[in-house]
Structure 1
Amino acid sequence: MLAAIWHFSFHVADLDRSVAFYRDVLGMELVHVQDQDNAYTRSLVGYPDARLRVAQLAVPGKGEHVSTHDLELVEYVEPRGERQDPARHHPGAAHMAFAVADITAEHARLTGLGVRFVSPPNRITAGANTGGAACYFLDPDDITLELVQPPPHRAHLLPGGRP
């Protein structure tokens, strides 16, 4: 039986570029960076020549949880992969959503830093999060990310949120 989420992972073309984006632009905390060039890693990923660079990042202020990090970024040094079509409509495509208290302000801040948005903040008018807002944006590898402002009845669940 599953007990918790350990982390979410994205495979990236340039680990240093991606760490800079997630840390310096989005404000995540860099927890750990390591090179993985060992028998365990090769067995785990199923590539006999695998060499990876890995970074672990956490959302600040979340408090203690089972893992030290929320997001793992992986660069395959060997074998090098080829860029695939990351379009959101393809099976296997993924995205990660970040909760924010003020989506309009965060959209403006990120736009000012050159972040590429798919859409402006959209008011959620149907479903479980009616009353909130959301928008999609892209990381340096065109991985889809999302900002979500929870609806008023859930805003108190954010760090520093009000009931």
Structure 2
Amino acid sequence: MITGVHHIGIIVSDREKAIEFYGDVLGGELLYTSEADPEDIAKQIGVEGASNKAAVIKVGNSILELVEYVNPKCKPKQMSPCDIRTLHLAFEVDDINETVERLQKKGIKFTAVPKFIDKGKMKGWVWVYFKDPDGCQLELVENRELKNPL
């Protein structure tokens, strides 16, 4: 039986750059780094000759696994937020305006200003999108009414 989400894996182009972003910029805690046994990882993911190195970071109460494939090298893809298989990761924050201001001072660019939802099922939410260094869509969410988790 599935009991919850254990971690979220994100394929990154550069593990060190991702550690800096998700750790230093977003405030996550680096738990550990690792390098997978090439034989095992190739078998597990079904890609012959695959090898990778990863970093595991705790952000709030969530765990992110940042994986850089050493072989085969990842191919950057230009994707739109509405493309199939595109995911976005939403971080819950206490104060969205303070968080946006803090991240802007660190060079983060947001796609728009935070949007307040004043009606419907998500009433009380305030949200805004931005991207990580590889273009992964990220979101900040403040739930001011705490009644509607989603």
TM-score (norm 1): 0.85
> Deviations along 1:105-133, whole A, 9 cap, x unmatched?
10011011101211211102344321120
- 1:116–1:137 contact (8 Å) kept in structure 2: yes
- Provide the rounded CA distance (Å) in 2 between the counterparts of 1:144 and 1:73: 15
Query: Relative to 1, partners in 2 of residues 1:45 and 1:150: Cα closer, same or farther, differing over 3 Å?
Result: same
Gaps of 5+ in 2: none
Residue 8 of structure 1 corresponds to 8
Could you tell which deviates more after superposition, 109-118 or 145-154? 145-154
> Deviations along 1:46-89, whole A, 9 cap, x unmatched?
112111011111124x3xxxxxx611111010001211123201
Residue 59 of structure 2 corresponds to 59
- Provide the rounded CA distance (Å) in 2 between the counterparts of 1:50 and 1:86: 24
Residue 128 of structure 1 corresponds to 121
State the shift of 1:39 in Å: 2.1
Gaps of 5+ in 1: 63-68, 158-163
Structure 1 runs, 4 residues or longer, greater than 2 Å off: 125-129, 151-155
TM-score (norm 2): 0.92
Residue 71 of structure 1 corresponds to 64
Pick one of 120, 138, 146 that aligns with 1:153.
146
Q: Kindly tell me the number of residue pairs found equivalent between the two proteins.
A: 149
Pick one of 72, 79, 85 that aligns with 2:78.
85
Q: CA RMSD in A?
A: 1.8
Percent of residue pairs identical: 32
Instruction: Please state whether the residue corresponding to 1:108 is helix, strand or coil.
Output: helix
- 2:38–2:49 contact (8 Å) kept in structure 1: no
Residue 29 of structure 1 corresponds to 29
- Provide the rounded CA distance (Å) in 2 between the counterparts of 1:127 and 1:14: 40
State the shift of 1:154 in Å: 4.7
Matches within 5 A, 1:77-116: 77-116=70-109
